[in-house]
Amino acid sequence: MLGPGITPDMVFAGNGSDEVLSFIFFTLFDSDAPLHFPEYTYSFYPVYCGYYDIPFRKIPLASDFSLDCGALLEGDSSGLIFANPNAPTGIFLELPELERLLDRYPSGRPVVVDEAYIDFGGETALPLLEKYKNLVIVRTFSKSFCFAGARLGYAVADPGIIRALFTAKDSFNHFPVDRLTQEIGVAACGDPGYYKKINTEIIQTRGLFSAELEKLGWTVLPSRANFVFVRHPSLNGREVYEYIKKQGVLVRYFDSPGIAGFVRISIGTPDDMRQLLDIMKNL
């Protein structure tokens, strides 16, 4: 399922990608230099840094909200981590750009690419693992495999990195993923066609919904995730969030300077999105 060249000794599984990320922070990053990650990305990265006493530096995004690779590389760092596609923006860093970043970064320091949303239109970096031994790719079953309640995630990396993660894990719990979740995960991997079909439907619905919002004058960032990050032409994000909430629908609002004008909207069924669009037409 992961493709040619990926062997069992390159895979580390855990109770969801959050646990996998926690082991990665504990094992791979240190206090010698700050960890670099985008200013707006997965909110748990600074949480893990705080828990494990890892210094960090938030790197501003480019003016179009894309990842600023040059800025990520500036200054000393103990490693890099970012979601690709990013959250909450949904913007994807193309593989040639990622490869250029890896070429410029010290090979002895980890670069972690969190591919939680990769199946919604991005291109996985798994083929780059053969060339870049410091690359770590984190995946989850909770998004494209609809596994949020079952908790199953994994990392793919050079066998040496995987051995280090297992050493750390065995200090906490020898058997973190229960047997039932393992069996369900194996079964899900055995039916990739089904998940490709539903992910394609989400991609199509995302495109139609985005196009309709743009017709109404909304700013819609180019998403490759199962959500869109959108801004009303005159209202701020909190006003949009509160209005939609009063109509019985929840979207996500981030009360942070720089993105406070946006809300993040998960893509549901076509009927869900038509109903939400009718609500948003009244704003």
Angle of CA points 152, 114, 107, to nearest 5°? 125
d(CA 231, CA 282): 15
The pTM of the whole model exceeds 0.85: yes
All CATH 3.90.1150.10 domain ranges of the chain, comma separated, are 193-280
Closest CA to 228 of 203, 246, 247, 245: 203
Q: Which regions in the chain score pLDDT beneath 70?
A: 1
Output the pLDDT for position 277.
98
Give CA angle at 199 (198, 200), nearest 5°. 90
Of the candidates 43, 38, 118, the one whose C-alpha atom is nearest the C-alpha of residue 70 is: 38
- The CATH code of the domain at 8-189 is 3.40.640.10
Per the structure block, which two tokens stand in for 148?
């949020």
Sheet with strand 219-220: strands edge to edge = 219-220, 227-231, 262-266, 252-253
Q: Which CATH entry fits the domain spanning 193-280: 3.90.1150.10, 1.10.10.10, 3.30.470.10, 3.40.50.300?
A: 3.90.1150.10
Domain with CATH 3.40.640.10 in the chain: 8-189
Question: What pLDDT, on a 0 to 100 scale, did the predictor assign at position 60?
Answer: 97
What pLDDT sits at residue 10? 97
